[in-house]
Structure 1
Amino acid sequence: MSRKISILVIVALITVINAKSLKKNPKIIIVGAGLSGLSAAVRLIENGYDDILILEAENRIGGRIHSVKFSDGFVDLGGQWVHGEKNNSVYEMVDGKYDFGETGFDNYYPTFMQSDGATLDQEMCQKLGDSAFKILFSSYDEMSKFQGSVDEFFKSAFKKEALRAKADYSLTNEMIDFYEKEMNIWNGSMTWKDLSAPLHCISGHNAGIQHLTWKRDGFKKFIDFLIQDNQEVLDKIMLNKKVVNIQWTKNYENKLPIVTTADGYKYFADHIIFTGSLGVLKDQHRTLFSPQLPITLRRAIENMGYGVIGKVFLEFDQSFWPINEKNWVAYGFLWTKEDMKELKGTKREWLLDVQAFAKVDAFPNVLEALLAGRHMKEFETIPDEQIIDDTMWLLEKFLQKQLPRPNSMTRTKWLTNPNYMGSYSFNSVNAWKFNISTKDLQETLFNLKKKPEILFAGEHTDELYSSNAHGAVNSGYRAADELLKYYL
């Protein structure tokens, strides 16, 4: 009996020794210091793993959270709002510790303006707006069975509603154009013909207010909350370190993955968490990984949607919009067929992608233009002075009066930045066609010993909340937890 106990003790000791050798502090490289990369690092540090190096291509942290000094505070060129309060990791982290603002966009209607200056029936516009939102966000049972695009589903249903409402034919088409821009901004798509109707239905939606703001602090304020108890994460970040190749050991047992940066340095690691954008993966995955990624992962990268939205912030000496009206949130632009035709082919054609100019919470003298669509690359290459000239021309055309020139302007350039190549992901028609989901973008790469060598995170990999900041946070936690599970 004592001999059997001794054997059990020896086996137990060997198991403990092996577990301890496995749980040596592994070298972990995180590619990207955006929300997903920072979240992964924080989770690992909290669990005692501190041999971490974060390689960031930009000269700043935050990724697509980019708050810039403007007026008397910070405005957000990237993530701007906290979308929902329930099951939202961003909101829950700061709930009770921060006094959010609110833009007022939830269930809002802009003041609809027409390009020829004609007075619009706002009641009819709002009635059509009710129909549009019902079709897009409350018709999930019907939409889930529809095999085509959001464009096809919406137009068919909306035209029937417009007929019931006895809406003018021209107004109906102008509103269709307006809500295409709404969906392009919502998803970052170039056209809503690319948006899958059935996959649109399964996008995660968090209950609560959808446009909570960080007031004058900008979304960068969240990073303070994220790392407040783990400030050492900042010491692990190397800026201006663009990763150009990741060599993983698919067919080897005793080699370590190698990360090569643009300056020629090579870094060895036990594990790599890659948080680069889906845009970067689409453009560079063939040269970024050696050997090539598995075919399933490549198919997911190439067929999942990824796009861009644009913003222009204008600051004036004083507001010329109805800032004191409690329910006023934006001017919504409806283009007549004639005015649209006249603008096409000119240097100002990009303005057709501007959906609205909206107020900015906590900035009474700032207006924000939101745009998305076919002209985004053109928009990002236009000089700043022309952006100011063109947007003021647009406002004066729709408001039918001369306006003061802004004191300052700032704008986005996500598509032409090689470190992002866009804003966020969306569920495309091709994703539906090839039965691809965000979960397919999570595929971990293992070596022959089943050690997870490369793990993928980023908003595009989150099953429920892709395209959202809290989706990025969730994805960083998921990747870190996979490593923790491997060692524990």
Structure 2
Amino acid sequence: MAALDLARKTNALPVLIGFLEYQVYLSRKRCMYDDEAVVAFDCEFREEAEIEKFDLSDTSRRDCTADGYFSADSRRTSGSQVLQPKLSAATNGVKVVVIGAGSAGLSAAQDLIKAGFDVTLLEASSRYGGRLWSIPSETGKGWLEMGGQWVHGDGHALYNFCQANNLLADNSRRRRKRSADDDMFTLMNADGTRVTDMRTRLKIYTALDDTVWDDDEYDTLEAQRDLSFGQHLLNSYQKVLKTVTADKVALADQVFDVYVRNQKEEYAAANFFDISVQSATNMTLDGPDATDLRVPYTDVLKLWAPNAVAVAQYNATVKQVRFDRTAARAMTVVLSNGTQINADHVIMTASIGYLKAHVDTLFSPALSERKRTAIQSAGFGTLGKIHLIYDNEWWADLMPDYWTYMYSSGNNVNADRNKTYPGALWTRAIASGLVAPTTDRTLVILMGGPQAVQMEQMSDADVSSAITSLFRQSTGKNVPEPKKILRGKWSQNDLFLGTYSHISMDMVKKGITTADLASSDYFYGKSVNGQNVQVPGLQFAGEATHPKYWSMVHGALSGQREAKLLKQIYSK
């Protein structure tokens, strides 16, 4: 296996108060992948010479008002933005229906429109963006990201595009390498008591992090196809325990608890023992873990895909995708209102959560057995995200920009190895919190595990009350209730049913890979440039289909991969 340079390691970050980073996606930087295994997917299609650069002062190119963000109708694009497609004899008249106007659908549609294909882009909701959802802040300043928040890593197409267009905020703070000996690190107990033995806790966390992501062990882990990520965490922790004195074991359990909560946030995991260790070893992320944006994420998408945003049809729910190789156009997309759209190709970009729920009825005839198995066995979970809006920044002298909680009891590894916290309030599973980087007077709470879904099912009042109680207990102050809370509630949205994917143990046991999730179906013979060739009627794109960037926005831009496939077919 050919190893890439692994990105920097950080130490003890999630348990720190007072440190200046919003270090949320902790471990993606320490992964390796097989160069040869991903050549066929080639998702980095935008070469440096192809990156378009825009003047951010030109508000006709952005969802902006004079105040900075969001036009009255963020779904439309002015005519000046739309580039005229370059028609070719081969692509002119070839009909493609793209389902979903998220990152995958927009990136596919944009490239196909520019290549001269006849593209129909269907979106079931009233907006574009998918799991990227930027909204104006309730405070009147800046915006909130209800879904994806950051650009992860660097050197990939999305990062290069944002960098070329000056869309990235200063991220130097998150590039700084820390150590457990840094005097700036402090810790916070959920019960409000003073944290003791801070340096020991940080050293244990560092040792655990180094053991979990031990570069020398990656080849061994790659070979252990039946190893779950949960068992790998436990194995790593047992190694660390051998270096801990008997009087520090309880303290080490507390540190392990923090570590697991942060990993559950990263993987949107309900149960780590259902996740394959391949979710860690196969993922690749070089560079900073998370870079903030200077503009809303939906603005980035609009800059990336102005043609696609301009033609998208909203509130267009697909009822069924049909295939008939004997028809003049082999594919038919049936909408819930009865409208039928005939096409040569369909690119499906719905979330794996949605496909899991509808695979048996959405496609006719049924997909191939392997394709159905891939969808049904894929891992998909929920990252819970809560925005708390206040009248004032009461936390200014009490809390840092980024924090998490330590708990003094209920952390025994053997008693609760998956950290489900039976009998505890849902707030026990909170992984981290941060001061919102895109607005004022707003805090953001992040969490994974089954409690994330539980939280999304609760009323605003109950969520607000529980978090306020936690804040009051941990600070010892009469913290005010937020004046409003906002949540994406992705697990409760029928169009998504969660946030992002992972490699499950079920996938590994059945020999399923991300290549199977990306594979096409409904092949048929078609005359192209005077030759009869086999072409895919149904293609798939989205974060879950990327071999090394699943769960991330630049993985969702795999729509470019499917567009490139069609361009290659019709250029022959």
TM-score (norm 1): 0.87
Identity, in percent, stands at 25
Q: Offset at 1:302?
A: 1.2
Amino acid at match of 1:242: T
Q: Secondary structure at the match of 1:448?
A: strand
Aligned to 1:16: none
**Which of residues 159, 177, 191 in structure 2 aligns to 1:116?**
191
Judge conservation of contact 2:143–2:438 (CA < 8 Å) in 1.
no
CA–CA distance in structure 1, aligned partners of residues 501 and 144 of structure 2: 22
Q: 1:102·1:211 contact (CA, 8 Å) conserved in 2? A: no
Corresponding position: 1:218 with 2:296: yes
| Superposed counterparts of 1:274-293, under 5 Å | 274-293=348-367
Deviation, structure 1 residue 467: 0.8
The C-alpha deviation readout for 1:136-187, integer Å capped at 9, x for no partner, is 3334344334431111111222233244143722222222222222121111
Give 5+ residue unaligned stretches, structure 1.
1-19
Specify whether residues 324 and 268 from structure 1 end up closer, same or farther in structure 2 by C-alpha distance, changes over 3 A only.
Answer: same
Question: Separation in 1 of the partners of 2:167 and 2:307?
Answer: 27
In 1, Cα distance between equivalents of 2:290 and 2:167: 14
C-alpha deviation, 1:111, in angstroms: 4.7
The equivalent residue for 1:42 is 110
Q: Does structure 1 conserve the Cα–Cα contact (< 8 Å) formed by 2:110 and 2:307?
A: no
Q: Decide whether the 8 Å contact of 1:112 with 1:125 is kept in 2.
A: no
Larger mean CA deviation between 146-155 and 253-262 belongs to 253-262
- Give the distance between the partners of 1:295 and 1:455, measured in 2 at CA: 16
SS of residue in 2 equivalent to 1:313 = strand
Q: Which amino acid aligns with 1:52?
A: V
Counterpart in the other structure of 1:73: 142
SS at match of 1:61: coil
Q: CA contact under 8 A between 2:279 and 2:502: conserved in structure 1?
A: no
Contact 1:101 1:361 in 2 (8 A): no
After superposition, give the CA deviation of every residue in 1:210-246 in whole Å (9 maximum; x if it has no partner): 211124x32112113202xxx3433421111111210
Q: What residue number does 1:8 align with?
A: none
SS in 2 for 1:436: coil
SS at match of 2:565: helix
Separation (CA, whole Å) in 2 of partners of 1:286 and 1:59: 26
1:392-421 Cα deviation digits (max 9, x unpaired): 111112223221222332112001101011
Q: Please state whether the residue corresponding to 2:387 is helix, strand or coil.
A: strand
- Count of residues in Structure 1 that have an aligned counterpart in Structure 2: 456
Specify the SS of the correspondent of 1:143.
helix
Note closer, same or farther for the CA distance 1:376–1:24 as it changes in structure 2 (3 Å cut): same
Structure 1 range deviating more: 25-34 or 130-139: 130-139
In structure 2, what is the equivalent of residue 377 of structure 1? 453
Which deviations, in whole Å up to 9, do the C-alpha atoms of 1:6-49 show, x marking residues without a partner? xxxxxxxxxxxxxx875442111100000111101111122122
Residue 544 of structure 2 corresponds to residue 460 of structure 1: yes
Question: CA–CA distance in 2 between the matches of 1:269 and 1:52?
Answer: 9
Return closer, same or farther for 1:344/1:186 CA change in 2, 3 Å cut-off: closer
CA distance in 1, matches of 2:438, 2:398: 13
Deviation for aligned residue 1:339: 9.7
| Structure-to-structure mapping, 1:348-427, within 5 angstroms | 349-427=425-503
Native 8 Å contact 1:116 1:339 kept in 2: no
- In 2, the alpha carbon distance for the partners of 1:252 and 1:271 equals 14
Matched, 1:180 2:249: no
Q: Does residue 221 of structure 2 align to residue 143 of structure 1?
A: yes
CA distance in 2, matches of 1:441, 1:396: 46
Query: Separation in 1 of the partners of 2:397 and 2:551?
Result: 30
**SS, match of residue 334 in structure 1:** coil
In structure 2, how many angstroms separate the alpha carbons of the residues matched to 1:64 and 1:368?
17
1:3 aligns with none
More helix by share: 1
| Alpha-carbon separation, structure 2, partners of 1:372 and 1:116 | 21
User: In structure 2, what is the equivalent of residue 483 of structure 1?
Assistant: 566
Aligned to 1:243: 318
In structure 2, relative to structure 1, the CA distance for the partners of 1:401 and 1:162 (3 Å cut) is farther
Q: Shift of residue 196 of structure 1? A: 1.0
1: CA distance, partners of 2:236 / 2:426: 28
Distance between the aligned counterparts of 2:539 and 2:272, measured in 1? Answer: 31
- For the pair 1:154 / 2:154, whether they are aligned, the reply is no
Match among 123, 126, 131 for residue 56 of structure 1: 123
- Alignment partner for residue 195 of structure 1, among 264, 275, 282? 275
Question: Are 2:381 and 1:307 equivalent residues in the alignment?
Answer: yes
User: Kindly tell me: are residues 455 and 401 of structure 1, through their superposed partners in 2, closer, same or farther at Cα, counting changes over 3 Å?
Assistant: same
Contact 2:278 2:503 in 1 (8 A): no
Partner of 1:132: 208
Query: What is the CA distance between 1:62 and its match in structure 2?
Result: 0.4
The letter of the residue matching 1:471 is: G
Give the whole-Å Cα distance in 2 for the aligned partners of 1:408 and 1:253.
54
Matching residue's letter, 2:461: E
1:319/1:137 Cα in 2 relative to 1: closer, same or farther (>3 Å)? farther
Larger CA Rg, structure 1 vs 2: 1
What is the rounded CA distance, in whole Å, between the counterparts of 1:172 and 1:357 in structure 2?
22
Q: What are the superposed Cα offsets for residues 399-449 of structure 1, whole Å, 9 maximum, x if unpaired?
A: 232212223321120011010111011011112222211111112124431
Tell me by how many angstroms 1:324 deviates.
10
More deviation, 440-449/179-188: 440-449
Match of 1:451 in 2: 535
In 2: Cα distance, 1:165 partner to 1:112 partner: 20
CA distance in 1, matches of 2:535, 2:331: 11
> Does the CA contact (< 8 Å) of 1:279 and 1:420 recur in 2?
yes
Contact 1:155/1:176 (<8 A) preserved: no
Q: How do 1:245-264 and structure 2 match up within 5 A?
A: 245-249=320-324, 252=326, 254-264=328-338
Alpha-carbon spacing, 1:181–1:338, altered in 2? closer, same or farther (3 Å): closer
What CA deviation, in whole Å up to 9, does each residue of 1:349-378 have, x standing for no partner?
A: 221221122222243532111011012332
Q: Deviations over 1:85-110 (max 9, x none)?
A: 11x21111121322522575566798
Cα shift at 1:191: 1.7
Separation in 2, partners of 1:117, 1:160:
31
Asked if 1 retains the 8 angstrom alpha-carbon contact of 2:109 and 2:308, the reply is yes
Q: Secondary structure at the match of 2:501?
A: strand
